[in-house]
Amino acid sequence: MDRKAVVLDYLGRCNTYAEESIVRKTERGEALETESWKSYIEFNNHAIEEINNGTLDHWFTPLPTKGMGDAHRIDVEELEHAQRAGWLSGLLSPRPLVLASTQDENGNKNLAPYTSVMAVSTGPPLLIASFSCNREGRYRDTLHNLRSTKKAILHFMPSSVAAVHAVDETASPLPEGESEWNLAGFTPHPLDPLLINEAVAALEVEFLEDRPLPDAVARLAVLRVTGLWTTEQTMPANGLDILCQHGHDRLTPAPNSWGKKVLNHYGSKPDSS
């Protein structure tokens, strides 16, 4: 787990306990004995602030002792597939875990997890996703369904161990005609049978096309976002607490223990308040 997140969670729980103690003592007429608890909360809040703004980063991550001076080069072409996948997954992460919900022309529903989905345009709103094939050369059911019905809903899942187990079930190989919905235990939303009730948020997408990738068996699909499913009332400027892949075959909560806005890409810095 993220060491910062663990400490922040612990300090938050300590403050909750202290606040409850203050309430109990006040109700018993022992208000004079609450000052030490108030000082304790103040100290914790100061520590929380310094963790969030990076002042205490050196407590959690040792300062680098060297740059790339002693680096060595690995020829990617000489790596076995599993090694290559492990290196790329470990370096190009974290990436959001997306659970794609589709159905075929007969209404049979399918669920499959992906970490290859990426936004490449906001006007128009376009995503790309990579779809591999098995050893027999058959592409994933998700791609077949997209080609057939042109629609999918891409879900972002809550950062819980229960969600990890459910997502893992959706990746299980199943005989043709069986649905991952039965394994994962998810429930469909009454407004759309492809929408997962247990998700945090979702993107409704339309399939536009898929193209071959150079020297690869995987194909790259282009998807246009047509709708957002959310319970949020405002834009999630700080992101959502969702599952991500960080490392190789490892799911983890979205890293959100601290953050700092970057504004230079606007050309002139807008108001960051």
Burial of 244 (0-12, 13-18, 19+ CB in 10 A): buried
List alpha helices for the chain, DSSP H: 3-27, 35-52, 57-60, 81-91, 141-149, 161-170, 181-184
| CB proximity list for 93: less than 8 A, separation 6 or greater | 244, 245, 246, 247
| CB proximity list for 209: less than 8 A, separation 6 or greater | 221, 222
DSSP at 234: S
Sole residue written with tokens 């994933």? 140
pLDDT of residue 261: 66
Sole residue written with tokens 């490892």? 250
pLDDT at 272 over 50: no
**What DSSP letter does each residue of 199-214 carry, written as one string?**
-SEEEEEEEEEEEEPT
Tokens of 93: 């992460």
Query: Among candidates 125, 128, 114, which has minimal Cα distance to 157?
Result: 114
DSSP at 176: T
In this prediction, residue 136 has a pLDDT band, given cuts at 50, 70 and 90, of confident
Please give the backbone phi and psi of residue 258, each rounded to the nearest 5 degrees, phi first.
Answer: -155, 165
Sole residue written with tokens 């370096």? 91
| CB proximity list for 130: less than 8 A, separation 6 or greater | 116, 213, 218, 219, 220, 221
**What is the C-alpha to C-alpha distance for residues 182 and 95, in angstroms, rounded to an integer?**
26
Assigned CATH topology for domain 83-231+240-258: Pnp Oxidase; Chain A (2.30.110)
pLDDT at 181 over 90: no
Q: Residues 134-138: what's their mean pLDDT?
A: 76
pLDDT of residue 262: 61
| CB proximity list for 18: less than 8 A, separation 6 or greater | 37, 40, 41, 44
* Residue 160: Cβ within 10 Å count: 13
Write down the domain spans for the chain.
Answer: 3-60, 83-231+240-258
In this prediction, residue 273 has a pLDDT band, given cuts at 50, 70 and 90, of very low
pLDDT of residue 265: 60
Choose the weakest-confidence range: 29-38, 58-67, 177-186, 243-252: 58-67
Query: In angstroms, how far is the first alpha carbon of the chain from the final one?
Result: 31
